[in-house]
Amino acid sequence: MAEENTAAEAAKKQLAAEREASEKSRAEFAERMKGKPTPTQEENDLAVLGAPVFEKEEDGSGPDPNMTPRSSEARPGGTYQTRQTTARPAAPTPPRRET
């Protein structure tokens, strides 16, 4: 009997923890979904009709938290680092045998 009560209590605790995690996830999702879609339907309609849309309407989400200032800055001169290697010369092709 004591084992059944312990199992029931453990199940209730786990259920409460899962519900709390689920509510937290729903709240985070609702916070992320604030704003409006981008591009907007009007911008899509204009693009379909051939009008270029250069300036997008602000969607209310603010700046991208994943875009750090360092990642958005170009290096001076617009160059980037590459590996320095030299190509091997092509192997000579054997002469064709005439038959």
Question: Does residue 63 form part of some domain?
Answer: no
Count: domains in the chain = 1
Overall pTM > 0.85: no
Q: Which of 3-7, 21-25, 61-65 has the highest mean pLDDT?
A: 21-25
Question: Does residue 14 form part of some domain?
Answer: yes
Question: Does residue 8 form part of some domain?
Answer: yes
Q: Which domain holds residue 2?
A: 1-53
Question: Does residue 93 form part of some domain?
Answer: no
Distance CA 51, CA 45 (A): 9
Question: Does residue 99 form part of some domain?
Answer: no
Residue 80 has pLDDT above 90, yes or no: no
Question: Does residue 62 form part of some domain?
Answer: no
CB atoms within 10 A of CB 53: 14
Question: Does residue 66 form part of some domain?
Answer: no
Distance CA 13, CA 17 (A): 6
Check residue 17 and give its pLDDT: 95
